[in-house]
Amino acid sequence: MLHAEGPLLAIDVSTCEVMHHDIDPLLQQTIGGRATATYLAHDRIPFDADPFGPDNRIYLSTGPLQLSQMSFTGRMNMTGLSPLTNGLVSTNAGGYLSRNFANTGISVLEVTGSSDELIAIHVRDDDVWFESIPELEEATVPEVSDHMTEAHDLGPEHCIAIGPAGEHLVRYASVLTFNSRAFGRGGLGAALGAKGVKCVTFDGETPPDIEIPTSVTSTVHREAAQSDSRMKRQGTTGGTEFINDNFSLPTRYFSERSFEHVTSIGGDAVEEKKYKRGTCSMCAFGCKLPTRDEKTGLETEGPEFETVYAFGSNQGVGDIVDVMKSNKLCDDLGLDTISAGVTIAAYLASEDEFGNAGLVHELIEKVAYRDGIGDLLAEGVHRIADDLGVDDMTAKGMEFAGHDGRELHGLGLQYAVANRGGDHMYATFQRFEYRGEVDPEGTTGKASKLIEQEQFCAFRDSAIICAFSGDHLEEDRLEAIFAVPYERLLEVGNGVIERERHFNNQRGMDIEDDQLPYELPDLEASKQEYYHLRGWTDRGVVPDDRIEQTQPPMPPR
């Protein structure tokens, strides 16, 4: 089976100790990316670790396809213990980092411990060194990139960085690369900030030698270049009006399900502001959205659909330029736009301030610096809903994406049982319900397909392949690339899901955490069907022997 190659680079920032571990047996079983990182996290993070404590470990990992020339592969994975959900979380980001990371020769970076001073870590193929950077305290992400470019001739494509939100331990702080590509969900920017790590740079000239069959990859690359997909013009915002008109676009903190100003913030409005082509490393698809407002001079990348929902309809804001400004502030300050937007929408609901874009922009900055009311909002909706007097619109503490489980019941089941809660990318079940391939009504009989989708998405995040590759990388092509049956690839994904779940079980999570803030038809019976098909207990607990039977050799702790 095709897999990533290269050692685990383990860095303890408490002692500045650097170690390289051979993890080839693990890579052979897990491919790379999310799977490799999840196995390491399950084995090396104590089950009782504090997300903000030195025992938490953050993993940045690549897959084998980041050594290819194929479109849809300019991405990387990040895994750790989430300050937002209190369980394991993985998130991935695009941009141009992955090839620079791979050129250092490693497959996984692990950061543990806690530094007494704010530092940058510099990873090279022949060296690792640490730099004290007190002058970058509370610097924005672009300011960090500018400093690294000036001081080390390494631009944002070589760097991951946190903004002030990460330093101030905002529970949904993100990690950015290329200034605007976010490892967004779950708050790993705050976990990195708790370690005193402001940024990590990567540079080298010794990538692993991985043989990847070019017959398929060249075909996929050509198809990506020739595609006339609407996403090339409007990104994920192309479906905004369709969702609003036919399903549900959460509006004014989930109190309404359609937005009267949708055309002012949807795909056409975003396309009007797009001023050049944007893409990720090696990708000919080019679905990114560099946007500019000529009147104000505001430039940002996006907003994508989730930001349009979180800072547009769900806040009652109907001007795309206002949403663009929110997007820009979140990227610069290092905030996940979904959790930040939904949390601020909850505050607007409590104050009857829907549509007040000026207040929204003030609140984004207050959250990032934990200033005044921002200190409360930095905790996320789950921890403050009672204080605000609003419904807790989260699953496992993670704010919902803009695809509504109250209308898409299979997605609602996904939100309930997913190890990271209200994240639409965990199994992307909404796609089947939007397309009419699965009836959106009811949860009965959907568990089996949900399980397969969870496994596929976990494999995809291990390869690592962009979620927008689906029309170009079907089962037969994946089998040809990885040289194993498709079912073996799903087994890789299954190992990820079970280790995430088992880790969270050891932290006390079970069926009581598989809850939603609204009712769905037959949800409890469907959860039991899901547990049964997975071979878990009726409390949603993974038996220990299921982990032990599939455990590869692991590096020393």
Return the pLDDT at 229: 95
Q: Are 388 and 350 in contact (CB under 8 A)?
A: yes
Domains of the chain by residue range: 8-203, 227-399, 410-548
Integer Cα distance of 390 and 351 in angstroms: 11
What would the pLDDT profile of 286-344 be if each residue is shown by its tens digit? 999 999 999 999 999 999 999 999 999 999 999 999 999 999 999 999 999 999 999 99
Integer Cα distance of 195 and 118 in angstroms: 8
Q: Are 150 and 227 in contact (CB under 8 A)?
A: no
Residues in the chain, pLDDT under 50:
none
Closest CA to 366 of 356, 358, 377, 355: 377
119-124 and 128-132 strand pairing: antiparallel
Return the pLDDT at 241: 98
Return the pLDDT at 463: 98
Give me the percent of the chain exceeding a pLDDT of 70: 100
Q: Which fold has domain 410-548?
A: 1.10.599
Integer Cα distance of 377 and 381 in angstroms: 7
Q: What are phi and psi of 9, to 5 degrees?
A: -100, 110
What would the pLDDT profile of 434-492 be if each residue is shown by its tens digit? 999 999 999 999 999 999 999 999 999 999 999 999 889 999 999 999 999 999 999 99
Question: Residue for token digits 């605007």?
Answer: 180
| Domain 8-203 in this protein, CATH class | alpha beta
Predicted TM-score (pTM) above 0.75:
yes
Return the pLDDT at 86: 98
Exposed / middle / buried, residue 255 (Cβ in 10 Å: 0-12, 13-18, 19+): middle
Percent of the chain that is helix, strand, coil (3-state, to 5): 45, 15, 40
Fill in the amino acid letter for 50: D
Integer Cα distance of 94 and 72 in angstroms: 9
Q: What is the 3-state secondary structure (H, E, C) of 155-174?
A: CHHHEEECCHHHHCCCCCEC
Return the pLDDT at 494: 98
- What is the CB neighbour count within 10 angstroms for residue 166? 29
Closest CA to 40 of 80, 11, 84: 80
Q: Are 431 and 236 in contact (CB under 8 A)?
A: no
| Domain 227-399 in this protein, CATH class | mainly alpha
88-93 and 76-81 strand pairing: antiparallel
- Residue 421 DSSP SS3: coil
